Chain A
């Protein structure tokens, strides 16, 4: 029998929730560990094998110079590199610093700012290295992760929808919160995958899976702004877990009357 394919899991700035999704696949975990060699996964095991690896899952965003260098090495070690979760695919909630002064942030949290070394921005993995596939979500979907691993084992494309959360709502028969309750909801512009849980729990979608293909969020937020929605509220809605994804960023900046934000490096 040929050697089992190797999987490595790497963490950058993040909450651990996306890599935890692998350990949360309780029914499949031991089968996965049987079919592939989990070669590097600090959170789950002490024994770590040296690269190269067949597949690398990367969680988290790049926020330090050290991490900007580390991701370059990881790219070289992984034949197939997958960015998992909102931090790795769009910069995550910590990308809110990209609109603020990071020096002010450090001063607010730490007594000795001189001990802290960090970049002025939080950026997605694809801004630093070529990424072969992105799995969206804050957190990612456990079933999409298991499908991704199965797809890689069988050499097929992972099944990830490109349509919006609205389609999931309609399929489930969930009453539209935007239409029925007049709530500003990001469902029309957000990629499906979560199962449209928020509208099913009587609240707005706040964009955990990031922008779908061709979302036109500028138009949607313009529409909400003409209704009862406060412009500042819409800026905050667009500017959260995937706020630095280009389509969401463009919309929140347009609402604020900013021109294209200059990337601060």
Chain B
């Protein structure tokens, strides 16, 4: 093995969007780790200026085809705060149900098609299907039920059209929601089996003292509401987010990297962070299986995020069943009517990949004057690089191809959404000799 090595992934696979990784090693010393995000910038925060308040959830959905609901939810709540609008408990509950649909679709996709192949030794879910057809079919059905829920509530699964500031354009059809119950019941059982499968995987040994960050709500697992809490004990209102977290613009990236202030430290958002901080808020079935799955929570190993995702999958199926069971009458008023007015508001919700913060200022003309969006993956970028710094020396005993594969696996722990974070990856491992450009 040469003293100086370079590991390089020019185009990361099984992640959403495009990026590269470059690692330079000198002996056992990691000289440089760089997540290079070359996904082209799209400038959402700029062209939102001058748009109408009611257009915002339709536009921000287009930041991400995998988690459009997250963008719609953060947008709507922030704009409602800006205009002093309060929505009632029925709309709040249906918004949770819509978010459950997105978590189901996104988590099932990541567990079965993107992440499980790393543990089982396949290059994709598609080739995994040749040996484990029933497993992959189960994953696809789990995912489809999430999409079905999104279609009933949102009109369609990708870029739902029924979400608006103040509520929904049309109240969902109660009969169509009830018709989903048998599939949701199957999904709850199948997600328990999912946890049983993934918790038996062999997890690489990488323990990190993560500063976890998530929303926390006393009575519910966090989706749309709560305070922002951290492992080190920070407990703040959403309005204080920008005083404690800031974005840094790195040369190699069209995504901004977030840091926790004042120490300029990277931090972790997403399923592992949420489970570590909000375990007590899990619903009874999810908590019962989480406690007996063989993993000690809280966990400091983000390879176990696949189990955290499976626990959350149980939780959101359980919650979706409860909400649909409670939903017996069509809403008399599907939304709060409003006239756009000047003001400023911010809100964070829990996207499948973690905390998603939005802030808007509405001008005197009732149009968007300023927008700020901080996606979960850009908050995780610094932590991914930090994890790689710790992990690369351990995998350096392997040949370049295997070492590189292991680094990619680590990156996929984060379910990075590069499309989102661009305002995100190729892997290059440079073992010193000739750095390729």
Specify which chain B residues have a CB less than 8 angstroms from the CB of A118 in the assembled complex. Answer: 40-41
Residue contact B43 to A16, C-beta cutoff 8 Å: no
Residue contact B133 to A30, C-beta cutoff 8 Å: yes
Specify which chain B residues have a CB less than 8 angstroms from the CB of A94 in the assembled complex. Answer: 42-43, 47
Q: Does B207 lie at the interface of the complex (its beta carbon under 8 Å from any beta carbon of A)?
A: no
Specify which chain B residues have a CB less than 8 angstroms from the CB of A48 in the assembled complex. Answer: 13
Specify which chain B residues have a CB less than 8 angstroms from the CB of A240 in the assembled complex. Answer: 55, 58-59
Question: What CA separation (Å) do A106 and B14 show in the bound complex?
Answer: 29
Q: Which residue of A lies closest to B51 (CB)?
A: A236
- CB < 8 Å neighbour of A33 from B129, B249, B423: B129
Known: A11-B18, A23-B113, A206-B58. A43 touches B137 (CB 8 A): no
Q: Which residue of A lies closest to B139 (CB)?
A: A26
Question: What CA separation (Å) do A100 and B169 show in the bound complex?
Answer: 31
- CB < 8 Å neighbour of A44 from B17, B63, B126: B126
Q: Does B100 lie at the interface of the complex (its beta carbon under 8 Å from any beta carbon of A)?
A: no
Q: Does B143 lie at the interface of the complex (its beta carbon under 8 Å from any beta carbon of A)?
A: yes
Residue contact A236 to B55, C-beta cutoff 8 Å: yes
The B235-283 residues at the A interface (CB cut-off 8 A) are: 248-251, 253-254, 256
Stretch of B81-89, B155-163, B179-187, B390-398 at the chain-chain interface: B155-163
The A163-203 residues at the B interface (CB cut-off 8 A) are: 194, 197-198, 200-203
- CB < 8 Å neighbour of B11 from A33, A38, A42, A200: A42
Residue contact B47 to A93, C-beta cutoff 8 Å: yes
Q: Does A138 lie at the interface of the complex (its beta carbon under 8 Å from any beta carbon of B)?
A: yes
Q: Does B79 lie at the interface of the complex (its beta carbon under 8 Å from any beta carbon of A)?
A: no
Q: Does A229 lie at the interface of the complex (its beta carbon under 8 Å from any beta carbon of B)?
A: no
Residue contact B17 to A20, C-beta cutoff 8 Å: no
Specify which chain B residues have a CB less than 8 angstroms from the CB of A21 in the assembled complex. Answer: 158
- CB < 8 Å neighbour of B66 from A16, A64, A96: A16
Q: Does B190 lie at the interface of the complex (its beta carbon under 8 Å from any beta carbon of A)?
A: no
Known: A16-B419, A17-B68, A236-B52. A112 touches B249 (CB 8 A): yes
Residue contact A29 to B140, C-beta cutoff 8 Å: yes
The B49-103 residues at the A interface (CB cut-off 8 A) are: 49, 51-52, 55, 58-59, 62-66, 68
Residue contact A45 to B123, C-beta cutoff 8 Å: yes
B54 to chain A, nearest CB (A): 9
- CB < 8 Å neighbour of B40 from A20, A63, A201: A63
Q: Does B124 lie at the interface of the complex (its beta carbon under 8 Å from any beta carbon of A)?
A: yes
Question: What CA separation (Å) do A204 and B337 show in the bound complex?
Answer: 17
A225 to chain B, nearest CB (A): 17
The A129-163 residues at the B interface (CB cut-off 8 A) are: 138-139
Specify which chain A residues have a CB less than 8 angstroms from the CB of B423 in the assembled complex. Answer: 109-110
Question: What CA separation (Å) do A115 and B55 show in the bound complex?
Answer: 31
The A1-23 residues at the B interface (CB cut-off 8 A) are: 11-21, 23
B21 to chain A, nearest CB (A): 13
Residue contact B161 to A198, C-beta cutoff 8 Å: yes
- CB < 8 Å neighbour of B18 from A42, A92, A106, A139: A42
Q: Does B23 lie at the interface of the complex (its beta carbon under 8 Å from any beta carbon of A)?
A: no
A75 to chain B, nearest CB (A): 19
Q: Does A241 lie at the interface of the complex (its beta carbon under 8 Å from any beta carbon of B)?
A: yes
Specify which chain B residues have a CB less than 8 angstroms from the CB of A38 in the assembled complex. Answer: 126
Per-residue CB proximity of B167-200 to A under 8 Å, as 1/0?
0011000000000000000000000000000000
Specify which chain A residues have a CB less than 8 angstroms from the CB of B68 in the assembled complex. Answer: 15, 17
Residue contact B170 to A201, C-beta cutoff 8 Å: yes
A186 to chain B, nearest CB (A): 13
Specify which chain A residues have a CB less than 8 angstroms from the CB of B144 in the assembled complex. Answer: 24, 26-27
Specify which chain B residues have a CB less than 8 angstroms from the CB of A63 in the assembled complex. Answer: 40-42
Per-residue CB proximity of B106-136 to A under 8 Å, as 1/0?
0001000100010000011111010001001
Q: Does A116 lie at the interface of the complex (its beta carbon under 8 Å from any beta carbon of B)?
A: yes
Q: Does A233 lie at the interface of the complex (its beta carbon under 8 Å from any beta carbon of B)?
A: yes
Residue contact A197 to B161, C-beta cutoff 8 Å: yes
Residue contact A93 to B62, C-beta cutoff 8 Å: yes
Q: Does B46 lie at the interface of the complex (its beta carbon under 8 Å from any beta carbon of A)?
A: yes
Question: What CA separation (Å) do A112 and B250 show in the bound complex?
Answer: 8
Residue contact A42 to B45, C-beta cutoff 8 Å: no
Residue contact A43 to B158, C-beta cutoff 8 Å: no
Question: What CA separation (Å) do A80 and B248 show in the bound complex?
Answer: 42
Known: A44-B125, A201-B170. A139 touches B159 (CB 8 A): yes
Known: A16-B419, A23-B109, A233-B52. A139 touches B65 (CB 8 A): yes
Q: Does A263 lie at the interface of the complex (its beta carbon under 8 Å from any beta carbon of B)?
A: no
Per-residue CB proximity of A94-120 to B under 8 Å, as 1/0?
101100101011101111100110100
Residues of chain A having any CB pair with chain B under 8 Å: 11-21, 23-24, 26-27, 29-30, 33, 38, 42-48, 63-64, 66-67, 92-94, 96-97, 100, 102, 104-106, 108-112, 115-116, 118, 122, 138-139, 194, 197-198, 200-203, 206, 208, 233, 236, 240-241
**Pairs A-B, 10 closest by C-beta atoms:** A17-B65, A45-B124, A105-B46, A96-B47, A26-B144, A111-B249, A46-B123, A26-B140, A94-B42, A47-B123
Supplied contacts A24-B157, A201-B162, 12 more A-B pairs, CB within 8 Å: A11-B17, A15-B62, A16-B17, A16-B65, A45-B125, A46-B123, A92-B62, A93-B47, A100-B47, A105-B43, A118-B41, A200-B155
User: Can you offer 17 A-B residue contacts whose CB atoms are under 8 A?
Assistant: A17-B65, A17-B66, A18-B65, A30-B136, A30-B140, A46-B117, A46-B408, A63-B42, A93-B44, A96-B47, A106-B41, A115-B249, A116-B41, A138-B62, A197-B155, A197-B156, A233-B52
